[in-house]
């Protein structure tokens, strides 16, 4: 079935055209995080702002990149990926905050997603439920290298993406409401080694894989569900890590071109 294309140039929701974006796109949820992320860049300019989608484009250490907010949840994140892909984006880095469900992870640490449990509904409208939401290995490698260079404590592993901040993540709803099976679901994920909860990574990684693009995620830990701690500490770390990762991906792509390689691998060193 054919569907209408609201615009061949400027995209209907995100409000950008091909000339407005450059390099990898960082995807925070909160529009207010966009200028906080871009403040660490060499230069940036706001190119669009429509609904929850706020976009700036600029340079970090000489490498081009863009940052577009997606709002909360996978439905709007998928819209951003769809429309940014239509104007030429090939790499997507989710930049957010999360709650962890494992001991030994501190507030302010980073969680770099290697893959995601698809406990959200958006990706199921694209592909069967047993299709894996895997982060691109080049993106994961770049994020790890960036965290190491910046001296940030980080953890690499599986993320669970949910549609609900409350019931879907085992929190009480209004008036003490508890969703059936919520506690058991959280414990099952903990025992399976899942590190954290957030709300967009699974859809971003799923769509990126379906379209032959690169996707991944890095989140700052705000909450530890084991210890009961919650603090908005280290808010800018995920953005700095993703910005440097975008620069490293630019270098990785150049090394691939020079070597005639299809993918970056450990044999193609990054010397900085």
Just list the catalytic residues: 13, 83, 171, 225
Q: For residue 57, what is the enclosing H or E element?
A: strand 53-60
**109 Cβ contact list (under 8 Å, min separation 6):** 100, 152, 153, 154, 155, 220, 221, 234
**Maximum alpha-carbon separation in the chain:** 60
Residue with tokens 């958006």: 122
Partners of 44 in the beta sheet?
58
Tell me the pairing of strands 63-68 and 91-100.
unpaired
CA proximity to 80, closest of 121, 50, 36, 120: 50
**150 Cβ contact list (under 8 Å, min separation 6):** 237, 240, 241, 244
Three-state SS at 152 = coil
Report d(CA 84, CA 16) in Å as an integer.
8
Three-state SS at 68 = strand
Name the DSSP class of 3: -
Note whether 220 and 238 are within 8 A (CB): yes
């Amino acid at each position: 079935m054919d569907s209408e294309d609201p615009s061949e140039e400027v995209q209907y929701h995100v409000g950008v055209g091909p000339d407005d974006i450059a390099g990898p796109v960082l995807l925070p949820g909160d529009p207010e995080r966009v200028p906080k992320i871009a403040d660490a860049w060499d230069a940036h300019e706001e190119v669009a702002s429509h609904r929850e989608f706020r976009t700036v484009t600029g340079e970090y250490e000489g490498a081009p990149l863009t940052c577009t907010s997606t709002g909360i949840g996978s439905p709007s994140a998928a819209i951003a990926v769809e429309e940014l892909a239509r104007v030429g984006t090939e790499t997507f880095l989710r930049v957010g905050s999360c709650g962890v469900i494992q001991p030994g992870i501190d507030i302010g640490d980073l969680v770099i997603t290697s893959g995601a449990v698809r406990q959200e509904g958006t990706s199921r409208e694209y592909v069967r439920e047993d299709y894996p939401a895997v982060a691109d290995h080049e993106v994961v490698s770049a994020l790890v290298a960036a965290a190491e260079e910046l001296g940030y404590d980080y953890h690499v592993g599986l993320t669970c993406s949910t549609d609900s901040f409350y019931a879907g993540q085992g929190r009480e709803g209004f008036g003490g409401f508890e969703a059936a099976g919520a506690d058991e679901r959280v414990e099952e994920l903990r025992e399976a080694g899942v590190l954290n909860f957030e709300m967009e990574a699974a859809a971003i990684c799923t769509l990126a894989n379906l379209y032959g693009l690169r996707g991944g995620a890095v989140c700052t830990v705000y909450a530890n569900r084991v210890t009961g701690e919650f603090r908005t500490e280290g808010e800018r770390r995920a953005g700095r890590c993703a910005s440097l990762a975008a620069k490293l991906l630019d270098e990785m792509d150049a090394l691939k071109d020079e070597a005639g390689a299809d993918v970056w691998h450990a044999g193609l060193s990054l010397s900085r």
